[in-house]
Amino acid sequence: MPIYAPSLPPRPALDQGLPAALVIARFDIRRVLKQRVGRFFGFMFVGSLLIQLATLYVRHLLKTQSAFGGVRDFAAQVFTQGPEFHAGILTMNGWLTTLLWFQVALVGGGLVARDSLYRIRPLMYAHPVRPLDYLAAKGLFAAGLPFIILLPFAILPWGMSLLIAGTAGPISVWAPLYLVPSALLIALLMGAVTLGASSLAASPKAGFGWVLGISLGANALGGLLSGLLHQPAWMALSPQALVQAWPALLCRVTEPPLDWIPTLVGTTVHLLLWTFIAARRTRPSEAVL
Amino acid sequence: MTATVSLERASLRYGDILGLSPTTFELPDGGGITGLLGPNGAGKSTLIQLLSGLLPPSGGEVRVFGQVPFRNPAVLSRIGLVPEGDRFPVGLRGHHWLRMMGELSGLSGSHLNAAMASALTAVGMEVNGKKLFSEMSKGMRQRMRLGQALLHDPEFLILDEPFNGMDPESRLQLMELLRQQALAGRRILVSSHILGEVAQLTDRILLLFRGRLLAEGSVAEIRELLDRHPVELRIGAESAQAVARWAVEHDELVALRMEESGAVLAVRNPRSFLPKLQEAVLSGALPLSSLDPIDLNLDAVFQFLTKDHA
């Protein structure tokens, strides 16, 4: 039984609340929800989702309504069918993932950098918070944010397809089985890059620059090497290319932008590298008082 | 008597740089304030990092409440840290930040609400605690920082340069607050590079310089060092020569500097010299118009000690 100084009152009950990682992640989420930039991106993503749902509905009408018979052949060319269509649900021909990169860079760039700038980390570590808790909290937020955004794109069109046309709808009944894992892999990749980049930055603005710099720089390097060496596999250096590759591979697109092995290797390397950098940069010894 | 803190030849290296030389001292259990003094780069923050469990010692042993503090939740939950600095994220409100810190300490629900109310009351921020940090004065922000350290009712409070940049009124308020906390039974360690402010506050001083513990003791013990240290007195008089003639007859005189309106005397053992000076003035032997002790304070001792060890 611990003995305390006699003049001190009984200590409050500790160890009752949420795990430290969830406390930190929740604090970050609340902060982001209050930001104007969050509302802007919310509008953009909801708009994109609505466009996608409207497209699906139009497709359904073209298929089922005889009045649209005249434009059916033209529509069949515009709205390609098959695995490419399914893979495109998550990427929207690159528009959605590009928007998502900007969003994670803006919001996630400051994830660790803000704590560095305002010296919050030493204070956290002076509480019963382990470096692993901190890293888990930031990782959870960094990967959770793009996943939460992508999830409606993976689920809602599928649900709508089921609702309006049953199993004969434009989207396969089994689509969530490969769209949700694709969304998860995209989110993990974006989360890892964001986390590592933010831990290298000294301020949120610099974090934004680091995320975009890594993403665009690796893309340029991958493009350069694959062009020079005539080996498309080098594009696996680029997180952007990997983000495009996963839905294509999982949806079994006939000509995916990258093959399985480079995609697997590239993703593993990025996940390990950026998580390692973030872990090193958020150690207590880096948290200078 | 048991010790809240005990260091046994504890040292810390940053690569090739020695942040803290092997250091040994103890802070006793129970309430009280200890001042950790030293100029910038003396090793104060390094020592605080060791005590607050942020870093393990490179050598020796650090114990807080009898346990190793490094990554030890059992110890960390009994320590309250107020780090140096006055930067808070834009748009952050005081009570939101306080809530997160409370939750990180393991508080929740009604316990957390009660702890927040109690901490805000203790630091006098019941009304202003909900403001944005950007709307608070520096003194208010420092109170909030202290409030977060008090949330989980720690027995050991560590404050790193808490008076930096504060106006005199806020400084006095914070000092009073710390005295109250010490009276309530908390052991408090306050680091500062300004001796005057710590001398007003503390019953015990640790002097650090270039990573070494130079001196340790109560304010009274430190004052004893004054007797070994030549003290400078500026004596204003119409005739500087008369002052000089009188002064050279005394053994305590170490150095003499003539000025236009008097003389500056460097004397050892001011406790025996000052009564003689008083007697001479009263008897009219010394035509004195003013007396100004230039360095008769703890700053002088600090300079004296650091010069000897530089």
> pLDDT tens-digit profile of A13-41?
566 678 889 999 998 888 887 777 777 77
Confidence of residue B310 (pLDDT cuts 50, 70, 90): very low
The whole-angstrom separation of Cα B302 and Cα B296 is: 11
A130·B71 Cβ contact <8 A: yes
Phi and psi based region of residue B41 (left: phi greater than 0; alpha: psi -120 to 50; beta: remaining): left
B101 Cβ under 8 Å from any chain A Cβ = yes
How far apart CA A193 and CA A186 sit, in angstroms, is: 11
- Which residues in chain A have their CB less than 8 angstroms from residue B49's CB? 122, 289
Q: Which strand ranges, in their side-by-side order, compose the sheet holding B262-267?
A: B253-259, B262-267, B231-237, B288-293
Rg (CA), chain B: 23
Q: How far apart are CA A135 and CA A286, in angstroms?
A: 13
Q: Starting at the earlier edge strand, list the strands of the sheet with B17-28.
A: B17-28, B3-14, B59-64
Q: From CA B190, how far away is CA B184, in angstroms rounded?
A: 16
Percent of chain B with pLDDT strictly greater than 90: 24
CB B160 within 8 A of CB B44: yes
Q: B116 CB contacts (<8 Å, ≥6 apart)?
A: B95, B98, B99, B102, B151
pLDDT for B7? 92
Q: Which residue of B has its CA nearest to A11?
A: B153
Residues 15 through 74 of chain B touching chain A, CB cutoff 8 Å? 29-31, 45, 48-49, 52-55, 71, 73
**Shortest distance, CA A288 to any CA of chain B (angstroms):** 9
Residue A278 has which token pair? 């973030």
Beta bridge partners of B8: B61
Phi and psi for B253 in degrees, rounded to 5? -70, 130
pTM of the model: 0.77
- Tell me the Ramachandran region of residue B16: left when phi exceeds 0, alpha when psi lies from -120 to 50, beta otherwise: alpha
Residue B84 forms contact with A (CB below 8 Å): yes
Query: What residue of A is the nearest CA neighbor of B15?
Result: A285
CA distance A15 to chain B (A): 4
pLDDT of residue A1: 35
pLDDT of B42 > 60? The answer is yes
Q: To probe the interface with B, which of A4, A7, A11, A14 has the most B CB atoms within 10 Å?
A: A14
Half-sphere exposure of B113 toward its Cβ, with a 13 Å CA cutoff? 2
Mean local confidence (pLDDT), B265-270 = 83
Taking the CA atoms of residue A2, residue A6, residue A12 and residue A16 in that order, the dihedral angle to the nearest 10 degrees is: 0
Q: SS3 for A5? A: coil
**Is residue A130 within 8 Å of B72, Cβ to Cβ?**
no
Q: What's the rounded Cα separation, in Å, for the pair A62 and B203?
A: 86
Report DSSP letters for A149-216, one per residue: HHHHHHHHHHHHHHHHHGGGSSS-TTHHHHHHHHHHHHHHHHHHHHHHHHHH-SSHHHHHHHHHHHHH
Residue tagged 């980049």 (tokens)? A197
Question: Residue A3 above 50 pLDDT?
Answer: no
ipTM score assigned to the predicted complex: 0.73
